[in-house]
Amino acid sequence: MELEDVAALTSAVGLAALAAADQVADGDPLAAASALRAGGIEPRLAAAALTQAVLRRRARTKFGADADRLLFTRTGLEQATRAVVANRRAERLKAAGATRVADLGCGIGADTIAFARTGLAVVAVDRDPVSAAIAEHNVRTLGLAATVSTMDATATDLSDVDAVFCDPARRKGTRRVFDPAAYEPPWDFVAALPQRVPRAVLKLAPGIDHALLPDGAEGEWVSVDGDVVEATVWCGPLAQTPRRATVIRGPGIAALEGTGQRQAPVKDAGRYLIDPDGAVVRSHLVAEFADQVDGHLADATIAYVYTGQPARTPFGRGYQVHGRLPIALKKLRAALRAEDVGSVTILKRGSALDVEQLRRDLRLSGTRPATIALTRIGGEPAALLLEPQD
């Protein structure tokens, strides 16, 4: 998308094209494009409107009903914060006394929208003029107020804000960037923000190295419906605990806190296994979680938590352990066939086996489903037969 496409889509003709595209976007793409052109919409605008109709459907999981009023780019939607996460962040910032926040690298404006809705004054910048134009449109179309500019984050004047939020770009073209040194703006700039504005919040990839977090900061890993979506770093007076795992499932929100430095006790495998949520694992809070459920590990390097009794918890999924299975392929296949297993769900932690290849190699044809875990117990490879708990 280019600036002229944004301008076209936000004109009266463009808004009409978007409405028309929404009516035909679920059908055959070629037929949909032909229908728009037959209705007098020029080809480039028709293509742009149809692209937006597709992106809006994808965006509903992140933005809810707002998605049908917003504009997107594919990359912008991929990196955009889910509304439930952005809203919680904005509310926490406001509760901490922030009044005016700079959103550096605002993208299509997901966090800018949340900040503005919470009543914060927002200065949003993005070096990409298309993203900035889309963010400005998205804020305006929702009836909100924010100052949005096309500007390099590193050149932004922060002297008149009392909070700063930075979501560095983690893509180069269509490729994801995993090395913080390749972030945009650069990691050195991002890491130094807390020294310039004490109320600093950084949105980072879930795989960020804990050693890179600023001293004294809170690292919060957030998952939504089982998917770890981001690591949020709360700096200066915003930090409340060294590490936090926040688990959001539907309307429910649960948080686990701790140092991220402890090691859970290691014993023999128990009758029940709990597979911790990814936010718990990423935040290094497996020991704190094990305390909650009176559990332990069966291997110091594997994050499966074992208990003697079933435990209901928002921080992981529980299974009853029905026994150990042989590791060797032929013996494993024979054991599962003896149980009349026809389909198998395979969990794994600490195993190098390719799950899909193993599933094909098992060649099961029974009538019953089964769940197995490929793991390590006491340093040795192990396979467990499991039954999911409600």
What is residue 346's three-state secondary structure? strand
Amino acid identity at 367: T
- Terminal Cα-to-Cα distance of the chain (whole angstroms): 46
- CB atoms under 10 Å from CB of 250, counted, come to 8
The H or E element containing residue 95 is helix 83-95
Q: Which residues of 286-313 are buried (b: 16+ CB within 10 A; e: fewer)?
A: bbbbbbbbebbbbbeebbbbbbeeebeb
Task: Give the closest residue to 214 by CA, choosing from 227, 200, 226, 224.
Answer: 200
Angle at 181 between CA 218 and CA 93, to 5 degrees: 30
pTM, full prediction: 0.92
How is residue 192 written in tokens?
A: 């130094």
How is residue 61 written in tokens?
A: 């999981």
pLDDT (tens place) for every residue of the chain, 390 residues total: 899 999 999 999 999 999 999 988 888 888 888 989 988 899 999 999 999 999 999 999 999 999 999 999 999 999 999 999 999 999 999 999 999 999 999 999 999 999 999 999 999 999 999 999 999 999 999 999 999 999 999 999 999 999 999 999 876 666 777 778 888 889 999 999 999 999 999 999 999 999 999 999 999 999 999 999 999 999 999 999 999 999 999 889 999 999 999 999 999 999 999 999 999 999 999 999 999 999 999 999 999 999 999 999 999 999 999 999 999 999 999 999 999 999 999 999 999 999 999 999 999 999 999 999 999 999 999 999 999 997
Amino acid identity at 145: A
DSSP labels, 294-351:
T-BBSSTT---EEESS----TTEEEEEEEEEE-SSHHHHHHHHHHTTEEEEEEEESS-
